[in-house]
Chain A
Amino acid sequence: MTIAVETHDLFRIYAGAEGNAAALQGLTLSVREREIVVVFGPSGSGKSTLLRILAGLDQPSAGTVEVFGTDLRRIGGRRLRDYRSYTLGYADQHYNRALEPELTARELVALRLGLLGEAKDERLRRADELLERVDLADKRDSRPDELSGGQQQRVALCAALAHRPRLFVADEPTGELDAVNAQRVYDTIGDLARDAGATTVIVSHDPESASIADRVIHVRDGRVSAETARETGHDEEIVVGHGGWIRLPEEFLRRAGIATRAAAELDEERIVVTATGRESVERRPAPRSVATADEGDVVAELHGVGHRYGSTRVFSGLDGRFDGGRLTVVTGPSGSGKTTLLHVLAGIHPPSEGEVVVLGEPLSGLDADARAALRRTRVALVGQGTDLIPFLSARENVELSLALRGIDGSVDALEELGLGELLDQRVARLSTGERQRVAIARALAARPVLLLADEPTARLDEANARAVGALFAELARSTGAAIVCATHDPVLVEQADAELALGAGVPAPSTSP
């Protein structure tokens, strides 16, 4: 089978204010025609950069990249536009931003064909065909705001594949979806890509994406470090790079007690790598134990709580309790009301029915100002899109929040969250994970009794997500606060002490391990 995509020693260096950063460091990759490849890797490993180069949105600093025999470094202007118009199909996680809100599903799927000058009958026929394939035929006249998240993403996928591209690339296509919808989306990708005969490259954090892959590639530090092929039975193979460079799994290193130095020796046909000495791993300081509630005390309760927006009922008859010193996750499919529940607990939205009690105080008995006062002193909410002020430092953001709340506090929370060296760093220069931690520190600085976090790991890779989950669990135990996270991330769920699962419109009974 011919090679569709081939990169060789691909480098991409970005010049920044604080020096150059290498996103790709000699990435060599081949993808066969019609193959479906999933690319895993932690945040900052170079996955998205690879995708941008394949999409013609970026140029490598060194190395070669060829797609169907065309060297992407050597095309520009009209040829590049034609490549992106005819050869390439693209989808990413922000499906809502990719869809024109004024157009129907049918028109959206036919949009690219219209831009390419396809006749109206033909493009509408193709649109209907694709929508039929993804079980959205009855939604063809619906506009995006009338579709659920999963439905919108499926429409976006159809739109990306309507013109039968030879190469289809997708960047975190399920990043904003719950597990059920994510699986449906992957299945859709698999079906449509195979039908279209497209070569497919998917960047993802989601292990479920491997279910449709012919091959899974792991990228670390700008290189391919390992791959797993379906034909080899999904055994992961470490990729040996040019010059013998290999990357050993962190788990192996940790178990072998290898930190920064190791010794390698040949034992018959095996290479054995051992630690040169036992080194202590630098541990982060434990968060200050400022117990604001006794562990096990009920911090918040739900009694028959329900909420609706207009005529749409989000959830109803919800009962639950959130204890101090515990990490509770609220799970459920997209649209089940996870974020709404957090807002209800925070007193931002009064519930349509039922009662919410926080620290023994029924929120229905409080007016808006009193609920705001509660949020200033006892409750903290870390939202999905946290609005830190980018040109202020991490310290200044926390101080500002404390001033806004009108309470005396310290910025120790930043140190407790491992941001001691970044105190005076401007937020704009921090990574996504670091910003997320600053946002959490800002909330913690107020020493809340109830900490609410909405999808705190949505844009983090597995390692960072695991770290945040561990952090929350530890914070809950050390501070005695009740920490409630709305999430669909299984990494976070597995670290929780309790789970409140919401169904699509029907609440599931609360559970706790």
Chain B
Amino acid sequence: MFSAPVGARRLLFVVRLGLVRLRARAGRQVLLATGIAVGAAMLAAAVGGSVAVQDRAAQRALAALDPSDRSVQAVWSGVPTQSDVPVATIDREARDALRPVGGREPFGVLLFREARFGGAVVNLGAVDGLRPWVKIHSGRLPRPCRPSRCETIVVGGEGALPRLSYLPVVGRATIADGAPLEGYFGTRGRQHVPILVAEGVRGLTRLRIPDVDLISRTYGWIETVAPGSIHSWQIEGFADRIVRASSELAAKSDGFGVSGPLDTLAAVHSTGQVAGRRLLLIGGEAAVLLLGFAVFAATRLRRDAEDVWRRLSWFGARRSQLALLSIVEIAAVAVLATALGWAIGAGLAAFLSRHLGAPAGSVLGHSVLAGSGMVLAAGLAATAALVVLASLRARLAGLGGRTITVADAAAFGALGAVALALARGKADAQALAAGGGTGVVLLLLPGLVVLVAAVVFARVVTPLLRLLERAGRRGPVPLRLAALSIARHPGSALVVASFLMISVSLAVFAADYRATLAQNVHEQATYAVPADYVLGEDLQRLVTVQQAAPLAAYRNLGDPTLVFRGSGSVSGRGAFDYTLLGLPANAVRRIDGWRGDFSDVPRARLARALRPSRPVALRGLDLPKNATEISLPVALRGDRVNVALMVRNTRGDFTALGLGDQDPGRRVLHARLPAAARGGRVVALRLGFPALAAFAAGHKESGTNAPVNDAFHGFATFGRLRAGGRTLGGYANWTGVGGVSIAGPGSVEFLVNRAADSLFRPRQVTDETPVPVLAAPDVAAAAGPTGELGLMVGGVPISAKVVGTVRHFPSVTGDAVVADLGWLSTALDAREPGTGPANEIWLEAPAAAAGRLAAAPFDRLAVASQRSLDESLRSDPLARGSLAILGGTAVVALALALLGLLLTVASDRSDESGELFDLETQGASERDLRRHLRLRVGMLGVIGTLGGIATGVVLGALVVDVVTVTAGATNPDPPLVLTFDWPLLALGFAALVVLAATLVATASRHVSRRPV
């Protein structure tokens, strides 16, 4: 036997032999190399593209922040003389903590808030390096402060300025856009004191102001964060540094506080993670395509591989040498093709990065060219090589009399993984952000499902091919020959058809998933803003839609619809919170954002169910328009009581006219009618606890869990109201609620406490009839057998009856309860006047109205534009990137399908040359032979395409149901529903057929026969 060195020579010889064969047979490897390269390019483009779009999304989110909110700031507030630590130390500690966050020196800010200097109360501050942050309008910039003198400029506010010679004002300016100083010198809202700013924090600190050390102040250290300075791959580290700085400073002094865009960073990071993980969908597709193509290619190489194994076996090659030869040949192709494909994909990702404005080099350096990217590429090459090797060397195993292949085993594994994944539940944005196994497995769903489908397809198609052959025996000879030809070589036919099935299924899936996401982008906008504009109260301005402008003003812009929005819970079951919407019943039929799957009933019928069957307006006593004063005769017996008139204004809101606390006795109560209430309607007399008694009761209740049982009791008789020189109607058909009971015409007995509103008011329709509502299934399930249930709306209980179920309703996230506005308002106002008026206006208006809505009087409201939201969602980088990648995937998958067809024809021409020659000897003409080849390929193409379309549709439905994430990587509202872009699908299918026919016809133009 030969010694050890001989062993190395044996192996080295085989390696050289493999390389020689590879060089000589490069052409035969083109197919395999092409498939691997395309798969690698898809994956690299998806990985790199994902990072690019995530970065773009991060920049967008950061740019949307106010400069102050975007910067990182440390703040120390207090009186220095009360601190153990000198100011200089505080300053050093803050700078040392902040410096590592952004790698730059923060600039300092100082503010004496509303302090008195020179007889004037001012906001006095200083900034290190003031010039970039202000815009001078008059005068000049202040010079740096000295201990004896500190020039200032006025940047906002109003009021008297200090009359101090050492604190002169040398100019007027405003804070520049982009300055992160809003929290110190902000001029939003009305500022009642002047805001003075000097140059140099240290200088101002040393200014010889009497008792300055006793004045509380705020020191700030600001590190600006410009959009584009933090990239998506830096977010996690940046946020960690902010948190570390905050912890460090908190440990040094409890006067320190650190703020930064942590919430935004966390949201961006989370969204980016979701987008990245959802990208595995595409990556999974790419991997399946790649591996499917590798198996397809391997079958074309199998004969050659078996030949060389046989030859070398006869030459005494050992099994290890044969294995090494295969490994060398396949691995070399896999590595080179992967490298080429990875490079191409990186190029595509770089192109996309530049297009999005992201730094291409950095994007690639943190994705395809990063360590993890290289590992992924290496893994891809190794996997492709292993799959090809396994396909070449697959042994058949037996199980219960049937043969089990490697593919069968893989399919069993995939099926198990799919079942496990489905059992773990849906993958929404939170699940994907959390990571773990769920998201990853679910996102590999397409690949797993297609693998199972391909194996099942293979098992089904084999007998189908034989059936086809039998069925074709009575058919035309060309068809019969083609069917026979396929049935003779079921293995290779099966691989072709399976590969086509995989490619077409993934193309169909990518196309319909893309269409679903794209449609959902538009649906999100119409769902969130179900009219051209939605106007509501700005929580910073606190101006209602009624207060902003009369209804006529909205009518001048377009077609307004009044809407009430509130929240509540189902009475007795606090677990079911919901959003309550009140809008005119007819509006249900025409609002945007509705989709048929929201309810099992057409919305026209839902609207009819909500419509009041009779007038439901709030009843009361109408006030004359010219009335400026109102009087009410009253006779009281018993305890004191507070009396107020509740007036519904003509503009829809309410005014409470207090008539004061009243002692027993007779008198006439007077009140001035404010302008808003003139011409309104008195809807109730409210009797309540006198103010002092209410305060005392509240004081007694504090610190205990039990309410105080204090209550005031008495009798009141009311005369008819007089206003504008007229006596208003009487109290026939009036009733009492909340401790008020009728004691006679116009007379009531009252028992008032803090627990309820006590009202003497007209009977309302809603007193006997529950409000018809549409409810979410969970809410509807809480209703009684008659459909009635109690709803608690902002603390006001109303009785409702469920007349329809809606799973979703435009503008509502979560469970919805919808009622007719009039009915709902009456029910609420009857219980507690003022709780029912509309608080939103849904306005149908053209695009030109946007400008008018941005101006007075509407600029005090919060305005949401459907068009703007739609545009924003469509332009979201994550959404665009996802849709683009899906679109590209569909095209690539179809291109690979065509390539597979083309190569099938090319290889059939040579592999089937014996069969073709035999046909020729029997008198088949060149045309007959061409037709035979084309029919053969055509039949396989039809089988594969039909299987692919069916699988693609099923896969799309499954993924849409399980992966509940939008194109922009958020939770979808409304939920995704599988959508088909029929024109695009038809176009794609037509293009596939035409291109396939053209390629096959061209490739089969010259039919080669067995060479002589």
Residue positions of A touching B, CB distance < 8 A:
81, 84-86, 90, 97-103, 111-112, 114-119, 159, 163, 309, 339-340, 343, 346, 348-349, 368-369, 372-377, 380-383, 385-387, 389-392, 400-401, 403-406
Report whether A159 and B315 are in contact in the complex, using a CB–CB cutoff of 8 Å: yes
Contact across chains for A90 and B312 when beta carbons are under 8 A apart: no
List residues 147-200 of chain B with CB under 8 A from any CB of chain A. none
Residues from chain B with Cβ under 8 Å of A99 in the complex:
311
* Chain B, Cβ-Cβ closest to A369: B925
Selecting from B265-273, B435-443, B476-484, B540-548, the interface stretch reads B476-484
| Chain A residues with CB below 8 A from B318, complex form | 81, 85, 115
| Smallest Cβ-Cβ distance to B310: which chain A residue | A97
Give the residue of A111, A116, A119, A348 whose beta carbon is less than 8 angstroms from that of B921: A348
Residue of A nearest to B928 (CB): A372
B921 partner residues in chain A, CB cutoff 8 A: 346, 348, 375, 380-383
**Cβ 8 A contact of A115, one of B10, B477, B480:** B10
Q: Which of A86, A343, A406 contacts B316 (CB 8 A)?
A: A86
8 A–B pairs (Cβ distance < 8 Å), ordered by A: A98-B311, A100-B308, A102-B23, A115-B10, A376-B922, A376-B923, A401-B922, A403-B480
Known A-B contacts A98-B314, A375-B922; the reply to A114 vs B927 at CB < 8 A is no
Partner of B924, one of A118, A119, A372: A372
Contacts A117-B13, A403-B480 given; does A100 touch B311 at CB 8 Å: yes
Question: Quick check: B487 and A404 within 8 Å, CB to CB?
Answer: no
Asked whether any CB of chain A lies closer than 8 Å to the CB of B21, the reply is yes
Q: Which residue of A102, A372, A376, A380 has the most chain B CB atoms within 10 A of its CB atom?
A: A372
Centre residue among B311, B915, B926 by max chain A CB count within 10 A: B311
In the complex, what distance in Å separates the CA atom of A313 from the CA atom of B317?
A: 40
Query: Which single residue of chain A is at the shortest CB-CB distance from B485?
Result: A389
A-B contact sample (6 more), CB < 8 A, given A163-B316, A404-B924: A111-B312, A117-B9, A343-B1012, A382-B921, A386-B918, A387-B917
10 A-B pairs with least C-beta separation: A376-B923, A85-B316, A117-B6, A102-B24, A387-B918, A372-B925, A381-B921, A375-B923, A114-B13, A117-B10
B:24-44 near A, CB below 8 Å: 24-25
- Tell me whether B307 is interfacial, beta carbon within 8 Å: yes
Q: Bound complex: CA of A85 vs CA of B10, how far in Å? A: 13
Contact A97 B316 (CB under 8 A): no
Residues of A within 8 A of B1010 (CB): 385
Tell me which residues across on chain B come within 8 A of A346, comparing CB atoms: 921
Docked complex: B1-60 residues within 8 A CB-CB of A: 2, 6-7, 9-10, 13-14, 17, 20-21, 23-25
Q: Cβ of B310: which chain A residues have Cβ within 8 Å of it?
A: 97
Nearest residue (CB) in B for A115 is B317
Q: Which chain A residues border B1009 with CB–CB below 8 Å?
A: 348
Cβ-closest chain A residue relative to B322: A115
If A348-B920, A387-B918, A404-B481 touch, whether A97 touches B311 (CB-CB below 8 Å) is: yes
| Size category, B interface | 35 or more
Chain A positions within 8 Å of B316 at CB level? 81, 84-86, 112, 115-116, 163
Query: Quick check: A391 and B488 within 8 Å, CB to CB?
Result: yes
Neighbouring A residues of B480 by C-beta, 8 Å: 400, 403
Q: How far apart are the CA atoms of A349 and B1009 in the complex, in Å? A: 11
Chain A residues contacting B21 (CB-CB under 8 Å) are 100, 102
**B321 sits at the interface (CB 8 A):** yes
How far apart are B150's CB and chain A's nearest CB, in angstroms? Answer: 90
- Taking CB atoms, residues of chain B closer than 8 Å to A118 are 9
Instruction: Chain A residues near B301: list those with CB within 8 A.
Output: none
Please indicate the chain B residues that have their CB under 8 angstroms from the CB of A163 in the complex. 316
Which residues of the partner chain B approach A392 to less than 8 Å between Cβ atoms? 484
Q: Which residues of B contact A119 (CB under 8 A)?
A: 9
How far is A8 from B480 in the complex, measured between Cα atoms in Å?
Answer: 53
Chain B residues whose CB sits within 8 angstroms of the CB of A309 once the complex forms: 1012
Q: How far is the CA of A117 from the CA of B319 in the complex (A)?
A: 15
Please give, as numbers and ranges, the residues of chain B lying within 8 Å of A369 by CB-CB distance: 925-927
Cα A381 to Cα B484 with chains together (Å): 21
Q: Is B914 an interface residue (CB 8 A)?
A: yes
Whether A102 contacts B2 in the complex (CB less than 8 A), given A114-B13, A349-B1012, A391-B488, comes out as no
Interface on B for A, CB 8 Å cutoff? 2, 6-7, 9-10, 13-14, 17, 20-21, 23-25, 307-308, 310-312, 314-319, 321, 477, 480-481, 484, 487-488, 914-915, 917-928, 1009-1010, 1012
Q: Contacts of A349 on B, CB cut-off 8 Å?
A: 1012
Chain A residues within an 8 Å CB radius of B922: 375-376, 380, 401, 404-405
Chain B residues with CB under 8 Å of A101's CB are 24
Tell me the bound Cα distance from A118 to B7 in angstroms: 10
The answer to whether A389 touches B914 (Cβ under 8 A) is no
**Closest CB-CB distance, A222 to chain B, in whole Å?**
25
- A97 touching B317, Cβ below 8 Å: no
Nearest-Cβ distance from residue A23 to partner chain B, whole angstroms: 21
Q: Which residue of chain B has its CB nearest to the CB of A388?
A: B918
Given A84, A373, A383, which contacts B923 in the complex, CB threshold below 8 Å? Answer: A373
Chain B residue numbers with a CB within 8 Å of A159 are: 315
Give the distance in Å from the alpha carbon of A84 to the alpha carbon of B314 in the complex: 8
Expressed in whole angstroms, the Cα–Cα distance for A390 and B2 within the complex equals 47
Q: How far is the CB of A57 from chain B (nearest CB, A)?
A: 10
Taken together as a complex, chains A and B put the C-alpha atoms of A373 and B317 apart, in Å, by 51
CB-based contact B477/A404 at 8 Å: yes
Nearest chain A CB to B309 CB, angstrom units? 12
From the candidates A85, A111, A340, A375, name the one contacting B1012 in the complex (CB within 8 A): A340
How many angstroms between the C-alpha atoms of A84 and B312 in the bound complex? 12
A377: B residues at CB distance < 8 A: 923
Distance, CA A114 to CA B316, complexed state (A): 10
Q: B residues within 8 A CB of A404?
A: 477, 481, 919, 922-924
Contact across chains for A97 and B307 when beta carbons are under 8 A apart: yes
Q: Which of B10, B25, B308, B917 contacts A116 (CB 8 A)?
A: B10
Task: Provide the residues of chain B in CB contact with A100, threshold 8 Å.
Answer: 21, 308, 311
- CA–CA, A377 and B488, complex, Å: 26
Are A111 and B315 closer than 8 Å at their CB atoms?
Answer: yes
A339-B923 contact given A115-B321, A387-B918, CB 8 Å threshold = no
| Chain A neighbourhood of B14, CB < 8 A | 115
A340 to B321, CA, bound (A): 41
The answer to whether A115 touches B919 (Cβ under 8 A) is no
Contact across chains for A115 and B25 when beta carbons are under 8 A apart: no
Q: How far is the CA of A368 from the CA of B1012 in the complex (A)?
A: 18
Q: How far is the CB of A155 from chain B (nearest CB, A)?
A: 13
Task: Name A373's closest neighbour in chain B (CB-CB).
Answer: B923
Residues of A close to B477: CB separation below 8 A? 403-404, 406
The residue in chain B whose Cβ has the minimal distance to the Cβ of A309 is B1012
Contact A387 B13 (CB under 8 A): no
Across-interface contacts of A403 in B (CB, < 8 A):
477, 480
Task: A106 to B923: give the CA distance in the assembly, Å.
Answer: 44
Residues of B within 8 A of A389 (CB): 484, 488
Given contacts A119-B9, A401-B922, A403-B477, is CB(A387)–CB(B914) below 8 Å? yes
Q: Evaluate whether A102 and B314 lie within 8 angstroms (CB atoms) in the complex, with A372-B923, A375-B921 already known.
A: no
A382 cross-chain contacts in B, Cβ below 8 A: 921
Min C-beta distance of B467 to chain A, whole Å: 14
Complex CA gap A404/B481 in Å reads 9
Nearest-CB distance from B480 to chain A (Å)?
7
B313's nearest neighbour on chain A, judged by CB, is: A84
A287–B228 alpha-carbon span in the complex (Å): 94
CA distance A344 to B258 in the complex (A): 95
Closest to B14 in A: A115
- Determine the distance from Cα of A85 to Cα of B926 in the docked complex, in whole angstroms: 48
CB distance from A442 to the nearest CB of B (A): 8
Chain A nearest CB, measured from B841 CB (Å) = 77
**C-alpha spacing A82/B528, complex, angstroms:** 78
Kindly name the residue among A97, A99, A100 whose own CB sees the greatest number of chain B CB atoms within 10 A.
A100
- Of all chain B residues, which has the CB nearest A442? B922
CB nearest to B477 among chain A residues:
A403
Residue among A99, A114, A374, A386 with most chain B CB within 10 A: A114
In the complex, the answer to whether A115 meets B918 with C-beta atoms within 8 Å is no
Query: Contacts of B488 on A, CB cut-off 8 Å?
Result: 389-391
